[in-house]
């Protein structure tokens, strides 16, 4: 009986030691394996997964039909292609380190920079410290009987006045156009003129010439045409906004001159 009691006591004692020992051994194994997984195995797995994703890729938007649209280039530098609103393309020529930026989904973005020596639009211009290299676009939105346009030999304001020799300024030119009932006459000639002058490529060429500031003279009827005034109504404002959009795209700052 004593021997039997001693044997049972030993067995219970051994079981009591085996269970805690197993738990301790399992804990030691986990302590050893877990750091190895996080240090060696998991980083390799993440690296392998990430390597299949390009570091940067153009994004596509969905059209109204739910189909993905083709990726649109929203920025570029010297030698890159620029696609205009009407689908035509031209080569952006700016050897001075400028970069254009235009994202239709983010139209107020100011990342564009005219030249390397000009702060991008998203940084405040330091008047008195930063240099201004400007050009006056007089004769663009405010017609004048003088030429200003340096980039296209056929785009001269005097051509508007040659047809109406009695006109001496924008007011009398509008009066003469409004009175012209012949084919090709009328105030609609002014909008044709605005379309020719306010173009995407023109603003790109301004930055490519090393300029960073625009002065745009505006007549008061850009906002409202009052009764009895001969000016073309509800038109000029559209082309002012287009000029501002083009200037933002190429990093040009504007001085509006009323």
Strands 134-136 and 253-257, by their bridges, are: unpaired
pLDDT digit string (tens) for 93-109?
Answer: 999 999 999 999 999 99
Q: Residues 95, 49: one domain? A: no
64 is a domain residue? no
What average pLDDT values come out for the chain (258 residues) when binned by 10 residues? 47 49 49 46 42 36 47 93 93 98 96 98 97 91 70 57 89 95 92 89 97 94 90 92 97 94
pLDDT digit string (tens) for 104-153?
Answer: 999 999 999 999 999 999 999 999 999 999 999 987 888 888 754 454 44
The reported pLDDT for the residue numbered 59 is 41
Q: Residues 116, 190: one domain? A: yes
195 vs 2: CA distance, rounded Å: 115
Alpha helices in 133-199, H assignment, sequence order: 158-162, 170-179, 188-197
Q: Residues 48, 79: one domain? A: no
- Closest to 139 measured CA to CA, from 150, 149, 131, 127: 149
27 is a domain residue? yes
Q: Residues 12, 124: one domain? A: no
148 is a domain residue? yes
Q: Residues 24, 134: one domain? A: no
Q: Residues 126, 233: one domain? A: yes
67 is a domain residue? no
| Residues paired with residue 83 on neighbouring β-strands, in sequence order | 89
177 is a domain residue? yes
Count how many domains the chain has.
2
The reported pLDDT for the residue numbered 52 is 34
Q: Residues 212, 160: one domain? A: yes
- Closest to 156 measured CA to CA, from 138, 180, 178, 173: 138
Tokens of 170: 């924008």
Distances (CA, A) of 255 to 214, 228, 243: 6, 30, 12
Strands 213-217 and 253-257, by their bridges, are: parallel
209 is a domain residue? yes
70 is a domain residue? no
Please give the backbone phi and psi of residue 82, each rounded to the nearest 5 degrees, phi first.
Answer: -120, 130
Q: Residues 20, 101: one domain? A: no
Q: Residues 48, 82: one domain? A: no
What's the burial of 146, exposed, middle or buried (CB within 10 Å: 0-12/13-18/19+)?
Answer: exposed
204 is a domain residue? yes
Q: Residues 39, 124: one domain? A: no
Q: Residues 101, 187: one domain? A: yes
Q: Residues 229, 116: one domain? A: yes
Which residue is associated with the tokens 């909008």?
Answer: 191
Which structural domain range is residue 19 located in? 1-53
CB atoms within 10 A of CB 85: 11
């Amino acid at each position: 009986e004593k021997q039997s009691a001693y044997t049972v006591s030993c067995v219970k004692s051994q079981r009591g030691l085996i269970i805690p020992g197993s738990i301790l051994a399992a804990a030691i194994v986990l302590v050893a394996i877990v750091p190895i997984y996080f240090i060696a195995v998991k980083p390799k797995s993440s690296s392998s997964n990430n390597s299949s994703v390009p570091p940067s890729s153009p994004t596509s938007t969905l059209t109204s039909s739910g189909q993905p649209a083709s990726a649109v280039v929203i920025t570029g530098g010297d030698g890159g292609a620029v696609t205009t609103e009407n689908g035509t393309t031209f080569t952006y020529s700016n050897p001075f380190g400028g970069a254009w930026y235009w994202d239709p989904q983010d139209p107020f973005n100011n990342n564009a920079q005219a030249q390397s020596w000009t702060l991008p639009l998203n940084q405040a211009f330091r008047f008195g410290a930063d240099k201004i290299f400007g050009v006056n676009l007089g004769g663009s939105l405010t017609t004048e009987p003088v030429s200003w346009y340096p980039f296209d030999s056929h785009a001269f304001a005097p051509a508007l006045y040659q047809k109406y020799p009695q006109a001496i300024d924008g007011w009398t030119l509008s009066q003469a156009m409004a009175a012209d009932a012949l084919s090709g006459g009328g105030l609609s000639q002014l909008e044709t003129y605005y379309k020719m002058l306010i173009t995407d490529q023109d603003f790109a060429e301004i930055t490519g010439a090393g300029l960073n500031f625009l002065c745009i003279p505006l007549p008061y009827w850009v906002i409202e045409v009052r009764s009895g005034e001969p000016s073309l109504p509800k038109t000029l404002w559209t082309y002012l906004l287009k000029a501002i959009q083009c200037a933002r795209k190429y990093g040009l700052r504007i001085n509006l001159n009323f």
